[in-house]
Amino acid sequence: MKFIWAKDSWTSTCKTSDKLEHFNAGFMGTITLLVLWPQWWFVWVPLAFVMAVIWEIKDALYNPDNCPGNYSWLLYILLGDGFSWRDMLCTWAGILVAWLLVSIGGVR
């Protein structure tokens, strides 16, 4: 298995970029856990950061280059396009905004 780097950029359009999706995933996942169980913030925030890294490693290893063949719709959703540090930063930004809203803004 080879480690694939994503061929993405900051200047891609919304149709070809998933940066907003990564931000939303980080934000929604983290804010949900922080609102439901705020006393466990010291678990949820680091866990979310680590999960973003694990997701990008999954994208680097589980991609069409390493897994040739026909895919069902479920497997196609899970296929990655390579490790993208830009996607990871967008996910981290969503996590950070959720944490700041809950801790500083008092969203509960």
Is there a domain that residue 89 lies in?
yes
Is there a domain that residue 49 lies in?
yes
Confidence of residue 106 (pLDDT cuts 50, 70, 90): confident
User: Scanning the structure block, which residue is given the tokens 């680091």?
Assistant: 46
Summarize pLDDT for 8-34 with one digit per residue, the tens: 888 766 666 788 999 999 999 999 999
Is there a domain that residue 11 lies in?
no
Summarize pLDDT for 43-75 with one digit per residue, the tens: 999 999 999 999 999 989 887 777 766 666 666
The total of structural domains in the chain comes to 1
What pTM, to 2 d.p., does this model score?
A: 0.85
64 φ/ψ angles, rounded to the nearest 5 degrees: -60, -30
Is there a domain that residue 70 lies in?
yes
Is there a domain that residue 17 lies in?
no
- In which domain, by residue range, is 49 found? 39-103
Is there a domain that residue 79 lies in?
yes
Is there a domain that residue 18 lies in?
no
What pLDDT score does 8 carry? 84
- Please state at what angle helix 85-103 crosses helix 41-61, rounded to 10 degrees: 170
Bridge partner residues of 83 (DSSP): 5
- What whole-number distance in Å separates Cα of residue 81 and Cα of residue 97? 26
Is there a domain that residue 71 lies in?
yes
Token digits of residue 96: 């950070």
Residue 83 has pLDDT above 80, yes or no: yes
